[in-house]
Amino acid sequence: MSKLTGKVAVVIGGQDGIGGAIVQRFAVEGATVYATSRRAEQSETTHGKGAVRARRVDASDPADIMAFFVSVEREAGQVDVLVVNAGIAEFATLDTVDDDHIDRTLGLNVRSLLFATKAATAIMPRGGAVVLVGSIAGAIGTKGYGVYGASKAAVRSFARTWANELAPRGIRVNVVAPGPTDTAMFAAASDEVRGTLTQLIPLGRMGRPDEVASAALFLVSDESSFITGAELPVDGGMAQV
C-alpha cells in the first residue's frame, strides 16, 4: 500500500526544484496534493495513485494564503499533510543589508510560513504532519547570508515550539534541512562556486531534489510516527562532520 493513500497534502512552494520533487513524490504515494506557486496556472493532473492540484498563491501575502486554505477546506474538507517550502535566499553582507532585504526575507521565510502553518493546522485532524523546509544555513555562518540563515534558524525554533503545542492534538511537526541541492538556482551558479561547495560536502557531490523529497516523505508518513520536533539534515554530511 502506498504511504499517503487517501491523504490530502499541501505543498507551499511546490512548482519546481525541491518543492516540485516533493509534490511529485507525495502524489505517486497516493496523496491528493495541492501545489502552490505564484506562477502556477490552476490545473489538476493524475500522478501514480494520487493527483496534483496546482493553485496560484502568493506565499508572501498572508491574506492570499488564508483564502487558499479556505478553498482547500471547501474542496477537500481537511489537510492531512503540510509542507512549507516557499522561501527566498538573497546575498547581503552586514554593511549592505537594508530594510527591503530584511522585509523580503523574513516576510516570506518566517512570517508567511507561520501563517500557512496556522491556517493548515486549523483544519488538520489527529495524525496530521507538518514538515517545514529549513536549511543547514540556520546552523552555520555563511558570509553574505546572515538574514537568510537567521530566518532558517527561526524555522527550526518554530518547529520545536509547534511540536510541543500541537502534540496534544496528535499533530507532528518536523524540519527537513537541505544542504546545497542541484536545483535551477544552483545550476545557474558558476563552475567555481559549484566546485567550492562540493569540496565542503563529505559525500563529494550536491544533493538531488528527489533525495530531499524522500526525507520529507519519511517525516510525514507513519514510518516516523514517534518523531516530532526534530530536524533531519539532507546535506551529504556538510554541516554534520
CA distances from 29 to 4, 47, 137, 217, 226 (A): 5, 9, 30, 9, 21
Answer for the pair 107, 87: CB distance below 8 angstroms, yes or no: no
First to last CA, the chain: 37
Side chain identity at 134, as an amino acid letter? G
Clarify whether 145 is annotated catalytic.
no
> What residues contact residue 115 under an 8 Å CB cut-off, 6+ apart?
62, 65, 66
Instruction: Return the closest-CA partner of residue 34 out of 1, 66, 75, 62.
Output: 75
From the candidates 26, 69, 148, 158, give the one annotated as an active-site residue.
148
> Where in the sequence numbering do the catalytic residues fall?
148
